Chain A
C-alpha cells in the first residue's frame, strides 16, 4: 500500500468516525433550533424551520436560569476551595521525599474510585441532622471533596515538571516552603493551574448524584433542573434540547480552552499530553 493510499484511507476512516461522533451533538442543536411544531406535523427536525424561539423560552425560564446561576456559584466556590486544599498538598508530594508518600498517594487515588452513592447515604444522614440538606453549602462541600483527588494528581504532575533546582535556589535565596510555593513554583505552573481549575469547575457543573440527593428542592443545579423538565408530561422536545445545549455550551468553551491540561488531568497525571 503506498503512503498516499494509506493517508487517504486514514482520512476517510477519521472523517467517518468524526461524523458519527459529532452527529448526535449536531442533531441536538438542530432540534433545539427547530420550530417546535415540527413534532406534531411529523416533519423530520432536519427539515423543520429554524427558530431561536426555544432558546428564548429557556432564557425566559427563571427556574432554569436560576439553576444555572446556582451551578455557577457552586462551581466557582468549590473550585477555589479545591485549589486552596490541593495545591499545597500536591506541591509537597511532588517536591519532597518522605516516608509513606506512596501509600498516601494510593489512598488519595482510591478516594476517586468510590461511586457517589456509596458515600452519599452517610452524608445524607449527617447533613440532615445539621440541617444543611438542600443548601448551596452542602453542594459546595461535596463538589470540593469529589474533585480533590483529581486536582491533586493533576497539579502534582505539573509541579513535578518544575526543575527542582529552581526550588532549591529559592530556598537558598532565603525563601521558606510557602514563599517558594507562592512565588517560585505556582508562577511556573500557571497554565496547569488554570487547566486544573477549569476541570474542577466542569466536574462541579456536571455533577448530578450529590446535587439531587443532598439538594434539589430549594437549591437546584443545572443538571437537576433539566431533569425536572422531563418530569412534566407535555415536555417540548425542542425546548428541552435548547436547555441541554445551554447547559453544555459553557463547558464546550472551557474544554477547548483547557485542551492541553485536560488529558493529563483526566488520566491523573499519567499522560503528559
Chain B
C-alpha cells in the first residue's frame, strides 16, 4: 500500500508540445482517484509516467515518500490494467496470473495460494488452463485485473479498463470494480474519459483538459460546485445548459427571465456585467418549491427515458458553448449571436409535457451557476 504524490509534473514531447502541464496531485494511501477528461487531455500520459513507461520531463513523482523518477518500471512495484488488457497471448490464464510472482522468485506455495485467491475472487477458476485467445472480452478483462491483484502491489493503475467492452458488460464490470474497490482498498489511479465511470468509482476525481488539472474533488463537489465552466460542462448528463446573462441590481437577467440573487451570492464586481449562466437540467423542476422562480416555457421536443423525460424548450438568450469559453473565446461569443437557444430540463415522467405545449417550470435561483465569460471561472457556485 502506498501514497502517490505527483509534484509539478510535466511531459514535454520532442516537438515541444506539453502533454501534461505542471500537474500536482496527491493520492492518499488506499484512495481511489480517477483521472477524467476528453481524449488528448494528458490523463493517460500522466498515468504512464506514474507507471514508469513514460519519462518525466519535469517535476517529481513520489511513491511512499521515495522519488521514483529514475526508477525503472519493473522496480516500481506498481500493477497496471491496460485498455487492451495486454495479456500474454502465449501463456495460459494461470501463467498470466503468476508471471510477476514467478519473476520475483516468490515461493511456489505462496504463488499458488495467491493465484487461487485471485481466481476465486474474480471467478476465473474454470478458465485457468485457457489462453487469452479463447476468452471473451469480459473474461480477459478479469484476467488482467487478476494479474494486477496477485502481486499485491503498492498501487494499481488502470488505463480505460472498461472502454473495450460493450455497453452492457461495461456497466456490469463497473459494478465489479466498485465491489473490488470496497474489498481491497488499494491505492488506485484510474483513467477514463467516461464521466459516469469517474463519478461512480472515484473517492476523488481529477478533471483534466489540455494537460492541465481543472479541478480535483469528490464526485459530489464536482457536480455541485464546479470550479469552472469546463468542469461544469463535462460533469453531469445531460450537459448543463449555458447561456449569456447579465447581472443588474442584484438580479440575474437571462433573456426575459429574471432571477433574484441573494446579495451575498453576487460578486460585487459582476454588477452590470455579462455573465455565463449555467443551469443543470436536473435543477429545473416541474413543481414549485421554496424560493423558486417560475418560467413559462413552450416545449419543443420531449425525449422519454422511461422514469423521466427530457424536455427541450427555447430560451430568449444567446447560447454559449462551454468548450469555447474554456478555450478563451467566451468574450466574443457573449458580444454577438442570436438571442435564442435551447435548454433541456430533466423532469419526472408524469409531467404533462408535450411538444408545442406551454408548461410552467420552476428554478431555485440558488441552483444557478455563474461563470466569468473571459476566464470561464465560476463566479458563484450553484447547487441546492
Show the binding face of A for B, using Cβ within 8 Å. 163, 165-166, 168-176, 179, 184, 187-188, 190
Contact B88 A174 (CB under 8 A): no
Query: A172 near B78 (CB under 8 angstroms)?
Result: yes
Proximity string of chain B (79-92) to chain A, C-beta cutoff 8 Å, 1 when within and 0 when not? 11011111111110
Interface string of B52-90 (1 = CB under 8 A from A): 110000000000000000001111101110111111111
Per the bound structure, the CA–CA distance linking A172 and B99 in Å amounts to: 11
Task: Identify the interface centre among B52, B88, B151: most chain A CB within 10 Å of its CB.
Answer: B88
B90 / chain A contacts, CB cutoff of 8 Å: 187-188, 190
CB distance from A29 to the nearest CB of B (A): 41
Contact for A173 among B52, B84, B89, B147, CB less than 8 A = B147
Q: Let me know if A170 and B99 touch, CB within 8 A.
A: yes
Q: Are B147 and A163 in contact (CB under 8 A)?
A: no
Given contacts A163-B86, A187-B90, contact A174 B80 (CB under 8 A): no
4 A-B pairs with the lowest CB-CB distances in the bound complex, closest first: A165-B86, A173-B100, A169-B86, A187-B90
Is A171 a contact of B89 with CB atoms below 8 Å? no
- Contact among B52, B84, B91 with A163 in the assembled complex (CB-CB below 8 Å): B84
B89 and A175 form a contact (CB under 8 A): no
Give chain A residues whose Cβ lies under 8 Å from the Cβ of B79: 172-173
Interface size range on B against A: 20 to 34
Report the separation of the CA atoms of residues A170 and B73 in the bound assembly, to the nearest whole angstrom.
10
Q: Is B51 an interface residue (CB 8 A)?
A: yes
A187: B residues at CB distance < 8 A: 88, 90-91
Please tell me which one of the listed residues B53, B83, B104 contacts residue A171 in the complex, with CB atoms under 8 A apart.
B53
B103 and A168 contacting across the interface, CB-CB below 8 Å: no
B148 to chain A, nearest CB (A): 9
Give complex CA distance A145, B348 in Å.
Answer: 78
Residue pairs across A and B with Cβ atoms less than 8 A apart, 9 shown, are: A165-B86, A168-B53, A169-B88, A173-B74, A173-B99, A173-B151, A174-B100, A176-B72, A188-B90
Expressed in whole angstroms, the Cα–Cα distance for A168 and B86 within the complex equals 8
CB-nearest residue of chain A relative to B81? A169
Is there contact, CB below 8 Å, between A184 and B88?
yes
Structural contact, A176 and B86, CB atoms closer than 8 A: no
A173 to B, closest residue via Cβ: B100
Q: A183 CB to closest chain B CB, in angstroms?
A: 8
Measured between alpha carbons, how far is A213 from B79 in the docked complex, in Å?
Answer: 57
Q: How far is the CA of A218 from the CA of B99 in the complex (A)?
A: 51
Q: In the complex the two chains form, what is the Cα distance from A176 to B89 in whole Å?
A: 19
Residues B80 and A175 in contact, CB atoms below 8 Å apart = no
A173 contact set on B, CB distance < 8 A: 74, 79, 99-100, 103, 147, 151
Interface centre among A170, A174, A184 (most CB of B within 10 A): A174
CB distance from B274 to the nearest CB of A (A): 48
Asked whether B82 lies within 8 Å of A168 as measured between CB atoms, the reply is yes
Contacts of A171 in B (CB 8 A): 52-53, 72-74
Residues of A within 8 A of B83 (CB): 165
Q: Is the CB of A188 within 8 A of B89?
A: yes
B104 near A174: Cβ-Cβ < 8 Å: yes
CB distance from A57 to the nearest CB of B (A): 48
How does the 8 Å CB contact mask read for B284-297 relative to A, with 1 for contact and 0 for none? 00000000000000
Distance in Å: Cβ of B34 to nearest Cβ of chain A: 20
Check B51 against A172 for contact (C-beta < 8 Å).
Answer: yes
15 more A-B residue pairs beyond the given contacts A173-B103, A174-B104, A190-B90, with a C-beta to C-beta distance below 8 A: A168-B51, A171-B73, A172-B51, A172-B80, A173-B74, A173-B100, A173-B151, A174-B103, A176-B74, A179-B103, A187-B88, A187-B91, A188-B88, A188-B89, A188-B90
* Distance (whole angstroms) from the CB of B7 to the closest CB of chain A: 22
Q: CB < 8 Å: which of B72, B76, B82, B104 contacts A169?
A: B82
**Considering the chains assembled together, what is the distance between the CA atoms of A173 and B51 in angstroms?**
11
The docked-state distance in angstroms from the alpha carbon of A166 to that of B89 is 9
Bound-state CA distance A171–B88 (Å) is: 12
Contact A169 B80 (CB under 8 A): yes
Q: A168-B82, A169-B80 are in contact. Are A174 and B74 (CB under 8 A)?
A: yes
Q: A165 CA to B74 CA in the complex, in Å? A: 14
In the complex the two chains form, is B86's CB within 8 Å of A175's CB? Answer: no
* Bound Cα distance A150, B86 (Å): 29
Residues of B with C-beta under 8 A to A169: 80, 82, 86-88, 147
Residues of B within 8 A of A165 (CB): 82-86
Residues on A with C-beta less than 8 A from B99 are: 170, 173
A184 to B104, CA, bound (A): 16
Whole-angstrom CA separation of A86 from B18 in the bound complex:
36
Instruction: Name which residue of chain A comes closest to B89, CB basis.
Output: A188
Closest chain A residue to B132, Cβ basis: A166
Question: Please, how many angstroms separate the alpha-carbon atoms of A171 and B53 in the complex?
Answer: 9
B284 CB, nearest partner CB in chain A, Å:
44
Q: Which residues of B contact A190 (CB under 8 A)?
A: 90
Chain B residues near A166 (CB, 8 Å)?
86-89
Query: A168 — which chain B residues lie within 8 A by C-beta?
Result: 51, 53, 73, 80, 82, 86
Instruction: Give min CB distance, B161 to chain A, whole Å.
Output: 12
User: A150 vs B52: C-alpha distance in the bound complex, in angstroms?
Assistant: 33
CB distance from A261 to the nearest CB of B (A): 18
A95 shortest CB reach to chain B, Å: 12
B104 and chain A: residue at smallest CB distance: A174
Output the least CB separation between B314 and chain A (Å). Answer: 48
* Cα(A175)–Cα(B84), bound, Å: 19
Which residues in A have their C-beta under 8 angstroms from that of B151? 173
Q: Which residue of B lies closest to A97 (CB)?
A: B14
Q: Closest CB-CB distance, A3 to chain B, in whole Å? A: 37
CA distance A165 to B81 in the complex (A): 10
| B215 nearest CB across to chain A (Å) | 29
For the complex, what is the distance from the CA of A190 to the CA of B74, rounded to whole Å?
25
CB distance from A159 to the nearest CB of B (A): 14
